[in-house]
Amino acid sequence: MRFASFVCADGIRDRLIAVRLAASLALSAGLLLTGAPAAFGSAPDDAGATRHVSESAAWSGALQVLSLPSGTRWIESPAGGDPGAAEEALRRAGYVPAVTIPPSQFVVRVGPRATSLPAGFIDRTGAASPAPAPPSGSARIVGETEPHDGMHPFGGRIDVLPPVRRDRDATASPARSLTGGVLPEGLFYGTRWEDLSEFMVGRVAIGLLFPESDGTVDPNLYDWTPALRDSVVRSAVRGFLKWSDQAAAHGIPLSFHLEIHTSIPTRYEPISRTVSQEDLWIEDVLRQLVGYRGDATSMGVEFANGLRGRLGAHWAGLAIAVQNDTSSVGTFPDGLIAHARLGGPWFVVPVNNLRTTSATLDFYMEHELTHLFWALDEYPAVNAWWSCTLTTGYFDRLNLNSSIPQPGYCGVSENCLMRGNYPDAFCLPTREQVGWVDLDQSATPDLFETVPAVLPESTVYRAAVGSPLLLRGTAAETAWPNRNPYRFFSGDSISVSVIDSIFYRVDGGPWVSMQPLDGRLDEGSEKFELLLDPLPLGSHTIEWNARNRNGKQPLTLASTAVTISGSSGSIDPPSAPPAALRFVLGPIPARTSVQFTLEGGGVDHALVRLWTAGGALARSWLVAPAPLASWAWDGRLRNGIPAPNGVYFVTVDAGNQRLKRRLVWVR
């Protein structure tokens, strides 16, 4: 991993057209986009409508044997309609989508004030029939409702792999949703291109991929059958539904939206390749979906962002199903089974895990999805050491429930989805690792308690009597900082709320609301412009206020001091801004010592930290950059031990400024 140098996200919306255009070009080029719906809000042409109808019928058949918990219904919307509009219609009628297969299949929770279904919608819940028997000589159909046998589902095998190195620096493409609700349309404020799964809140797009070996390089051993493929789809729906239901019980909006791609050819037989070789066949698969040749990680991030745009989601990931139904061992050649990349962009699930004797496929879907959102395992595994002293996730939460080094070592020992064969147990440490944190014990997740801030362009203003006043500023969300240790504690800080209203008042008078420059209060940052009639001679105070969708207002009100003089005047020229913070280090590579120089920034002190490539803190310094600070690092770690050769990262935090640098140490 490395520090990413992202560009400003102000122009993020402009890339939506490019993403949708790319999707259209991919379709016209004949790429395998089976099951890919049109972007929300767009009207499909006749060919697209026909394609959607046939796919809708196919997945309707797959859901015929779907068993659902009480209070949950399977609804089918009219064929050929827009999925975003269908979701909005269901919400208005009191049915909250939990898992959907656009354009027309919806698994919903029935709200307390649910009315009759909208016209044209059909309740298919009672249409379920018994699951078909598996073909003779094959393993049973996975993921149905057979009980668990109490064995550990992973058998002590590692199932979470280190985060994928991400080398792409680009802004994200906004994903416009028509669903409304308490969460904002489009990407959460602060989200960038690589932020695919920072915390489990909102709409999650999942690409469910079915690779099929064509026998070109590896012998073709297994073929997907409609029954097995449908079984995997049902397992995904049920596994993701458990997370959505658990979120609803905690007052958190969470839904999953599937785009299914069947029979994607690859030259390799996926189950015949070790996990360390899986990029070979994953690159084959993704190359056909994104339309270019690249490394698996870049294409995975690219395709996931396309999913996010097409399905109007906040987050995205890939679930890659692997066929091995009649395998005598139920593993990859290295002994691994279902597994995920910590933080995404994908997880891999064979249909036959250890002969499918210890858990249904629902469990593996539910478990591996959790890794995409940074949660760690809590059970002992070979070549893994997910100790209870490790931290992870957006809020940097401890893995307290881990049985490593021993159960209860860190004070918590309970059944959990990430610890053993407990697919319906969502322990507190796991919930906090995926972002459901309530540190102030207010019964409201911290993500829904952020506050806005108002930043006027001028805090001192002078004008002549009789002159109108033109004042500008910005109201913006103040997000909780991203403390994910796997992003070096400096990932993008993201807020789920938006600015809901902006106010001003003059000399303690009544608050007056005003509109942002773009006329819509729907973003995490809103610029405003206020033209006031002339004020009387003397001194005045204009105060600024705002509220976000959380119902919060700034902790401290900003103000502008206005002086109206009797003669011609003008706005005070802004005071000279402090010199920008400047940080230089060298030489690179360094062999004996590294010289650091820090100056400017208009701050009293700065915190400089040196990190290893693995994200561990190596050294730190508190320095005064005004006017200049210069010091040397002698190549020793905090404990005095000489630092090993390798790449290190340096962060500088001074006021609201942050700088990042890289150095190479060679002894």
Per-residue pLDDT reduced to its tens digit, 44-67: 333 333 333 335 456 787 888 788
- The dihedral built from the CA positions of residue 52, 54, 59 and 64, taken in this order, carries a sign that is positive
Report the C-alpha gap between 625 and 101 in whole angstroms.
55
Is there a single domain that holds both residue 593 and residue 552?
A: no
Total residues belonging to the chain: 667
Is there a single domain that holds both residue 229 and residue 353?
A: yes
For residues 630 and 595, the answer to whether their CB atoms sit within 8 Å is yes
In a domain, residue 148? The reply is no
In a domain, residue 259? The reply is yes
End-to-end CA distance of the chain: 22
Q: What six digits make up the tokens of 267? A: 């030259």
Burial class (CB in 10 A: 0-12, 13-18, 19+), 162: exposed
> What integer pLDDT is reported at residue 129 of this predicted model?
46
Is there a single domain that holds both residue 310 and residue 184?
A: yes
Domain final residue pick, 313, 348, 373: 373
In a domain, residue 417? The reply is no
Amino acid letter, 169: D
For residues 456 and 473, the answer to whether their CB atoms sit within 8 Å is yes
**What residues are paired with 594 via a beta bridge?**
633
Domain final residue pick, 516, 539, 565: 565
Q: For the chain, which residues score pLDDT lower than 70?
A: 1-58, 127-151, 164-182, 567-579, 601
461: Cα within 13 Å, side-chain hemisphere: 23
> What integer pLDDT is reported at residue 64 of this predicted model?
80
Q: What six digits make up the tokens of 3? A: 């520090």
In a domain, residue 441? The reply is no
Is there a single domain that holds both residue 257 and residue 335?
A: yes
Is there a single domain that holds both residue 223 and residue 369?
A: yes
* Backbone phi and psi for residue 282, each to the nearest 5 degrees, phi listed first: -65, -40
| Residues 6+ positions from 263 with CB-CB distance below 8 Å | 32, 34, 210, 212, 224
Burial class (CB in 10 A: 0-12, 13-18, 19+), 212: middle
Query: Domain containing 616 — which CATH number?
Result: 2.60.40.4070
Is there a single domain that holds both residue 168 and residue 285?
A: yes
Is there a single domain that holds both residue 487 and residue 536?
A: yes
Is there a single domain that holds both residue 587 and residue 559?
A: no
Is there a single domain that holds both residue 368 and residue 458?
A: no
Nearest in space to 35 (alpha carbons), one of 212, 260, 288, 303:
260
Query: Domain containing 540 — which CATH number?
Result: 2.60.40.650
Is there a single domain that holds both residue 231 and residue 334?
A: yes
Is there a single domain that holds both residue 237 and residue 298?
A: yes
Is there a single domain that holds both residue 318 and residue 268?
A: yes
In a domain, residue 62? The reply is no
Task: Report the domain count for the chain.
Answer: 3
Q: What six digits make up the tokens of 101? A: 């297969």
Report the C-alpha gap between 450 and 443 in whole angstroms.
14
Angle at 260 between CA 255 and CA 265, to 5 degrees: 150
Domain final residue pick, 349, 373, 397: 373
Report the C-alpha gap between 142 and 350 in whole angstroms.
10
> What integer pLDDT is reported at residue 401 of this predicted model?
96
Give the domain extent around 658: 582-665
In a domain, residue 134? The reply is no
In a domain, residue 2? The reply is no
In a domain, residue 412? The reply is no
